[in-house]
Amino acid sequence: MAPTTGPDTDGATIFHNPKCSTSRKALDRLRESGVEPTIVKYLDTPPTRAELVTLIADAGIEVTGAVRRREPLFAELGLADASDDELLDAMVAHPRLIERPFVVTARGTRLARPLDRLDEIL
């Protein structure tokens, strides 16, 4: 996982897809709160399986809540009845299946969907 500390990062990291409006809004909300996070463009630099497991666990969600079920690739790969391990393997192999944005701050980790979940860790 990318470092979560450094100059002006406030120890925060966002796993970001700049093409996603929710991800852009989450980044804006972080900045409006005075937080300049480390930005991980996870489609270019995907998390490892272990990192993904940690993000999901730390966010307090199930693996099924971290996968983009409406992504056409989800159906193409026949993942509707997949186990958690199969879903994790698919998300690592195809990072566009990872729901976004995951945000990590000193106060915790959240999948910022809905966006208000971000308030819990700011």
10 pLDDT tier (thresholds 50, 70, 90): low
3 pLDDT tier (thresholds 50, 70, 90): very low
Options 3.40.50.10800, 2.60.120.10, 3.40.30.10, 1.25.40.10; which CATH number does 13-121 get? 3.40.30.10
Q: Hey, where are the domains in the chain?
A: 13-121
The rounded distance, in Å, linking the Cα atoms of 43 and 71 is 14
The rounded distance, in Å, linking the Cα atoms of 54 and 47 is 10
Residues 6+ apart with CB under 8 A from 32: none
Q: What percent of the chain has pLDDT over 90?
A: 91
* Torsion over CA: 3, 5, 9, 12 (sign): positive
Q: Which residue among 10, 20, 25, 71 is the active-site one?
A: 20
Cis before 95 (ω within 30): no
Q: What is the pLDDT of residues 73-117, one digit of tens each?
A: 999 999 999 999 999 999 999 999 999 999 999 999 999 999 999
The answer to whether 32 touches 43, Cβ cutoff 8 Å, is no
pTM of the model: 0.89
Residue 122 annotated among the catalytic residues of the structure? no
The rounded distance, in Å, linking the Cα atoms of 51 and 42 is 12
